[in-house]
């Protein structure tokens, strides 16, 4: 796609009001390190214009019948579907995800989520009778959506589609690493025929445009996905203004393999989960917990499985793992790998050196650590790269204790020979979603975390509810 040197405000592409000293944001291909586009770095003044446009459009969109809102979202889904291949190629170019993964996850998943909200908007009960009361669910107002780079289109759709279905208007500030697919999304919104100002896009840096949006008095709710550290700041700002937030933050999810499980399958799927998207997934099962009797067998299986993930050109259909998104991210991940070695973990595969043949581009070796103990840094902190830690447990109580022994609680997995055994163990885990014996991701089920992994839920009707407020009339 051709990058816009403009922001999408009130139904039009408009030049940013950046000062003469401000540079545009350079978008780089992580596989080649080359600049592939430049987009505007919005100022606080640009954010103010976007919020004003969203507020001007709010009453008209909120009063639009839900079925009509659903029809517009269906048109958005169709506009995205028509550009599926372009979406995938764009994400591969700016994120570095392998093309096949970009097609099936970065493109197809958000298209499906958009379609789900077209249906939900039409079928949801925005009004009900409760005794002598009528209870209405009304749009919360103008939404400031701040999205990350790791699943750039999915996170946009997971916020914007339910907000629009609820009758809210939106100002989106995407991550500066991956703004091109956000511009493509704005083009799809335009093609779908939404009224001017219902959706607005400001590209910019988090420290400028993101901060301005999060703290804007004209924004009624901030929905943020990203690091827990930034989420805390946004939550504090919103709390001071008595403003609700929806926060989807970090994770350090446990993949618990119980003694009765199919070990080979559990390890293979667990490794694949961590390597997907070069490990840049907040819900990745980055801690594999195995009973002592089968621990060394699991380590051998993991080493064999990870060997199949050979870093390469993400535009090549045969590539299974590409680079991480940036030089800074590579430095972060390799720093954690070095820390794991310093703290005494056994390096089974990978390491902190560049993969062979990948001296150019921000590549990281797919890495597996054994002999990891719960207090180690690599077992406690979110690495956000292709790094798996394998931990040993003595019994089910020990496994539950280790699994819950982090500040996070976003996702996880449980494997057992009997489904009811797995479910009983899953009930003990302090986390927002758990995959039982490899259960597939469900875009209609609520997604969100316990503890420091966030506040609120995305997807399905639970995701819609985040953008609604309740009014009751008594008769």
CB 183 within 8 A of CB 199: no
Decide: 148 and 212 in contact? Cβ < 8 Å: no
Catalytic residue among 176, 282, 358, 421: 282
Q: Which of 467, 455, 459, 471 is nearest to 58 (CA)?
A: 467
CB 42 within 8 A of CB 7: yes
Question: Of 187, 211, 248, 421, which is the active-site residue?
Answer: 248
Tokens of 280: 């840049």
What does DSSP say about strands 12-14 and 7-9: parallel, antiparallel, or unpaired?
antiparallel
Q: Which residue has the tokens 């401000």?
A: 22
436: which 2 tokens?
A: 């039982």
Residue with tokens 């958005």: 76
Chain-centroid distance of CA 101 in Å reads 15
Q: Which residue has the tokens 């997934």?
A: 281
- DSSP symbols for 205-221: -IIIIIHHHHT-TT-SE
Residue 282 bears catalytic tag: yes
Residue 356 appears among annotated catalytic residues: no
Which H/E stretch holds residue 389? strand 387-393
> CA 253 → CA 22, 209, 394, 411, distances in Å?
40, 31, 19, 5
Q: List, by residue number, the catalytic residues.
A: 248, 282
């Amino acid at each position: 796609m051709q990058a816009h040197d403009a922001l999408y405000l009130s139904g039009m592409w408009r030049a940013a009001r950046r000062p003469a000293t401000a540079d545009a944001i350079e978008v780089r291909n992580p596989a080649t390190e080359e600049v592939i586009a430049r987009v505007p770095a919005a100022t606080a003044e640009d954010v103010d214009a976007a919020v004003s446009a969203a507020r001007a459009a709010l009453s008209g969109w909120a009063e639009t019948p839900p079925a009509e809102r659903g029809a517009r979202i269906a048109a958005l889904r169709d506009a995205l579907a028509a550009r599926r291949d372009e979406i995938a190629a764009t994400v591969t170019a700016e994120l570095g995800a392998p093309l096949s993964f970009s097609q099936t996850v970065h493109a197809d998943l958000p298209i499906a989520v958009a379609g789900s909200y077209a249906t939900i908007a039409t079928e949801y009960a925005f009004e009900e009778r409760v005794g002598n009361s009528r209870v209405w669910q009304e749009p919360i107002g103008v939404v400031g959506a701040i999205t990350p780079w790791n699943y750039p289109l999915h996170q946009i759709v997971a916020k914007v589609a339910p907000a629009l279905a609820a009758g809210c208007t939106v100002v989106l500030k995407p991550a500066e690493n991956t703004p091109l697919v956000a511009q493509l999304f704005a083009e799809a919104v335009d093609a779908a025929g939404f009224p001017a100002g219902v959706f607005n896009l400001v590209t910019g840096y988090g420290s400028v445009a993101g901060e301005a949006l999060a703290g804007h008095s004209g924004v009624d709710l901030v929905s943020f996905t990203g690091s827990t550290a930034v989420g805390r700041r946004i939550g504090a700002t919103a709390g001071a203004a008595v403003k609700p937030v929806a926060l989807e933050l970090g994770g350090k999810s446990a993949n618990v393999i119980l003694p009765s499980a199919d070990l080979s399958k559990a390890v293979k799927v667990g490794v694949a989960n961590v390597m997907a998207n070069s490990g840049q997934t907040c819900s990745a099962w980055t801690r594999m917990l195995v009973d002592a009797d089968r621990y060394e067998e699991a380590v051998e299986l993991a080493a064999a499985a990870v060997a199949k993930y050979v870093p390469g050109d993400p535009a090549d259909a045969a590539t299974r793992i590409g680079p991480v998104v940036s030089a800074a991210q590579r430095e972060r991940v390799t720093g954690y790998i070095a820390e794991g070695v310093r703290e005494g973990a056994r390096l089974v595969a990978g390491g902190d050196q560049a993969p062979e043949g990948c001296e150019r581009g921000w590549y990281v070796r797919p890495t597996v650590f054994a002999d990891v103990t719960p207090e180690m840094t690599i077992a406690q902190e979110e690495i956000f790269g292709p790094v798996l830690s394998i931990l040993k447990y003595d019994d089910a109580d020990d496994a539950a204790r280790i699994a819950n022994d982090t500040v996070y609680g976003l996702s996880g997995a449980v494997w057992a020979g009997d489904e009811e055994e797995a479910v009983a163990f899953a009930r003990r885990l302090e986390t927002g979603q758990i995959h039982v014996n490899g259960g597939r991701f469900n875009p209609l089920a609520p997604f969100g975390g316990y503890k420091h992994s966030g506040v609120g839920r995305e997807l399905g009707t639970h995701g819609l509810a985040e953008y609604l407020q309740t009014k009751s009339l008594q008769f």
